[in-house]
């Protein structure tokens, strides 16, 4: 067996909260278990309590970043500084809110030799929750009606405009709540707007069972690899606590059409509802790996590893279909942190 | 036991089972654990359910044949077996489309 290619990969989203984990630690774990790559993982966090900062088994080094929303210049300066000191070869952003900014900064990243296999700004716009229906139509997939809202009045008038309850009230980046009437919808509107800002989206509820796919687009219209999953147990926030790999050819074909229609570049997660008659309805496309991406390593289709190999210019054949019937179950653990590490993170922004 | 009742479950003939193609995709263990790789759902079946699934996956196509073969393995009147098979067929049709 040839030696594994040694390189450094920076990963964001290492906020593995038990009830609603970010994908970063799962991505880091996939990379550490790569059969082809010898990866030094640099974890990039936004909060001193992001657990990835304190887990050297997955993140060899870890640093704090300022939130991009607090000022793009400070964010860019810190990223450039960390690239200079840690010399990461590839950057894998794992949070929805980072993607539009980093896609815009693609030329800046490239100038600094930072490889990031990102969708373009236009691709990210195409899959935005308020434009999803157009993309779904182009790819020949059903999609529930969705409306972008800046005022909560809509929920009192919507029944007269052809909408029927329940509706799903969603934040543009995060959070969703199924509302069965105007009072519940208005409460969800206020809570989500307070946390994530406007607009809020109202989406017609699609009955059925949710199934998900994570995959990788090569930027030329090809889906290089995909893993599908059905959630089997949920957290209070509706996130997967347990899930099982599945093989649904209709979902796979839908994802292929979406990737072809957008010429998607990089990772994505496709969320659909499957009705009792088997019809699929597209409810969301996330422009990054999901938190359950470690399942891809679990079924022998390590998608983060594949992403890095593609980003480095390797030409890869499409991965064979992943086997169905592999279960994952999350669990919460306590990382024990010496005061000196906590001190270093809080005062210097790093655990080097 | 009534054929009519089961006819009304979904308007399909009571002897109609899911296609062999669909049933062949299921992962079925000897313990009676059944996994549907398309939906991700799992079920448990008892010994008679497992025996019916084995028969169907082995090419048995009709209620009459299934009842005959089950009669060799289970000490139960043919009428009871027939009712069980018809009920089970309706359940399978609902679960595996």
Query: In sequence order, what DSSP letters do the residues of B8-45 get, joined into one string?
Result: HHHSS-TT----HHHHHHSEE-TTSEEE-TTT--EEE-
Q: Which residues of A touch B33 (CB under 8 A)?
A: none
ipTM value for the complex: 0.80
Return the higher-pLDDT residue of B11 and A329.
Answer: A329
The whole-angstrom separation of Cα B4 and Cα B19 is: 22
pLDDT averaged over consecutive 10-residue blocks of chain A (352 residues)? 85 92 97 97 97 97 91 92 95 94 94 94 90 92 92 93 93 87 95 90 92 97 98 89 96 97 96 92 95 98 98 95 97 94 95 76
Do the beta carbons of residue A352 and residue A344 sit within 8 Å? yes
The confidence score (pLDDT) of residue B5 equals 29
Check pLDDT > 50 for residue B7: no
User: Between 3.30.70.20, 3.40.50.20, 1.10.10.10, 3.40.50.720, what CATH number should domain A5-117+333-351 receive?
Assistant: 3.40.50.20
How many structural domains is chain B composed of? 1
The whole-angstrom separation of Cα A26 and Cα A31 is: 9
Note whether B97 contacts A277, CB cutoff 8 Å: yes
Is residue A117 exposed (0-12), middle (13-18) or buried (19+ Cβ within 10 Å)?
A: buried
Which residue of B28, B40, B93 is the best one to mutate when testing the A interface, meaning the one whose CB has the most A CBs within 10 A?
Answer: B40
The confidence score (pLDDT) of residue A329 equals 97
Q: Which CATH architecture fits A147-204? A: 2-Layer Sandwich (3.30)
Q: Which residue from B minimizes the CA distance to A243?
A: B40
CA B7, B13, B17, B19 torsion-angle sign: negative
Q: What is the pLDDT of residues B14-66, one digit of tens each?
A: 457 888 888 899 999 999 999 999 999 999 999 989 999 999 888 887 888 88
Note whether A243 contacts B40, CB cutoff 8 Å: yes
Q: Which residues of A touch B40 (CB under 8 A)?
A: 211, 229-230, 232, 243-246, 324
Note whether B40 contacts A244, CB cutoff 8 Å: yes
The confidence score (pLDDT) of residue B12 equals 46
Check pLDDT > 70 for residue B4: no
The confidence score (pLDDT) of residue A176 equals 87
- How far is A258 from chain B, CA to nearest CA, in Å? 20
Q: Which residues of B touch A278 (CB under 8 A)?
A: 97
Note whether A229 contacts B35, CB cutoff 8 Å: no
Looking at chain A, the domain(s) classified CATH 3.30.470.20 span: 124-128+207-329
- How far is B94 from chain A, CA to nearest CA, in Å? 9
Note whether A211 contacts B40, CB cutoff 8 Å: yes
Most distant pair of Cα atoms in chain B: their distance? 36
Q: Does A247 touch chain B (CB under 8 A)?
A: yes
The whole-angstrom separation of Cα A170 and Cα A188 is: 8
Q: Which residue from B minimizes the CA distance to A277?
A: B97
Looking at chain A, the domain(s) classified CATH 3.40.50.20 span: 5-117+333-351
- How far is B31 from chain A, CA to nearest CA, in Å? 16
User: Which residues in A21-40 are b (16+ Cβ under 10 Å) and which e?
Assistant: bbbbbbbbbbbbbbeebebb
- Of A246, A277, A278, which has the smallest distance from its Cβ to B40's Cβ? A246
The confidence score (pLDDT) of residue B15 equals 54
The confidence score (pLDDT) of residue A352 equals 63
Q: Which residues of A touch B43 (CB under 8 A)?
A: none
The answer for residues whose C-beta is within 8 angstroms of residue A347's C-beta and 6 or more apart is none
Note whether B39 contacts A274, CB cutoff 8 Å: yes
Q: Does A320 touch chain B (CB under 8 A)?
A: no
Note whether B40 contacts A324, CB cutoff 8 Å: yes
Return the higher-pLDDT residue of B13 and A259.
Answer: A259
- How far is B33 from chain A, CA to nearest CA, in Å? 12
The confidence score (pLDDT) of residue B6 equals 27
The confidence score (pLDDT) of residue A13 equals 97
- Of A229, A232, A247, which has the smallest distance from its Cβ to B38's Cβ? A247
Domain with B87, as residue range(s), is 3-95
Q: Which residues of B touch A211 (CB under 8 A)?
A: 39-40
- Across the strands, what pairs with B43? B34
Q: Which residues of A touch B41 (CB under 8 A)?
A: 230
How far is residue B43 CA from its own chain's centroid? 13
The confidence score (pLDDT) of residue B1 equals 22
A124-128+207-329: CATH topology: D-amino Acid Aminotransferase; Chain A, domain 1 (3.30.470)
């Amino acid at each position: 067996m040839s030696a594994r290619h040694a390189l450094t990969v920076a990963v964001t989203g290492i906020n593995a909260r038990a009830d609603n984990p970010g994908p970063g630690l799962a991505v880091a774990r996939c990379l550490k278990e790569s059969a082809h790559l010898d990866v030094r993982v640099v974890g990039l966090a936004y909060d001193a309590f992001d657990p990835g900062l304190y887990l050297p088994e997955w993140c060899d080094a870890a640093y704090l970043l300022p939130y991009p929303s607090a000022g793009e210049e400070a964010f860019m300066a810190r990223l450039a500084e960390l690239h200079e000191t840690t010399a990461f070869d590839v950057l894998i952003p794992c949070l929805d809110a980072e993607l539009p900014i980093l896609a815009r900064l693609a030329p800046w990243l490239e100038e600094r030799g930072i490889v990031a296999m990102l969708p373009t700004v236009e691709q990210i716009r195409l899959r935005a929750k308020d434009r999803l229906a157009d993309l779904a139509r182009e790819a020949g997939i059903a999609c529930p009606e969705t409306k972008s809202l800046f005022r909560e009045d809509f929920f009192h008038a919507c029944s007269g405009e052809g909408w029927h309850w329940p509706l799903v009230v969603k934040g543009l980046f995060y959070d969703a709540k199924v509302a069965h009437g105007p009072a519940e919808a208005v409460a969800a509107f206020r809570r989500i707007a307070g946390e994530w800002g406007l607009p809020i989206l109202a989406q017609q509820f699609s009955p059925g069972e949710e199934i998900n796919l994570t995959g990788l687009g090569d930027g030329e219209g090809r889906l290089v690899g995909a893993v599908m999953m059905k959630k089997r147990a949920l957290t209070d926030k509706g996130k997967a606590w347990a899930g099982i790999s599945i093989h649904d050819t209709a979902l796979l074909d839908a994802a292929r059409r979406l990737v072809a229609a957008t010429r998607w570049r990089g990772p994505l997660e496709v969320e659909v509802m499957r009705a009792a008659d088997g019809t699929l309805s597209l409810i969301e496309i996330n422009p990054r790996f999901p938190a359950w991406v470690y399942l891809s390593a679990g079924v022998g289709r390590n998608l983060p590893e594949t992403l890095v190999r593609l980003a480095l210019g390797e030409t890869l054949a499409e991965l064979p279909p992943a086997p169905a019937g592999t279960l994952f179950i999350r669990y919460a653990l306590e990382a024990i942190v010496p005061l000196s590490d906590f001190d270093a993170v809080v005062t210097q922004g790093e655990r080097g | 036991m009534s054929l009519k009742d089961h006819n009304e479950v979904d308007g399909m003939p009571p002897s109609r089972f899911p296609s062999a193609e669909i049933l062949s995709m299921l992962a079925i263990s000897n313990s009676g654990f059944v996994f549907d790789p398309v939906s991700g759902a799992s079920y448990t079946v008892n010994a008679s359910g497992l025996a019916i699934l084995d028969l169907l996956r082995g090419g048995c196509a009709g209620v009459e044949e299934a009842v005959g073969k089950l009669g060799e393995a289970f000490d139960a009147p043919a009428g009871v077996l027939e009712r069980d098979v018809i009920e089970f067929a309706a359940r399978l049709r609902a679960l595996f489309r």
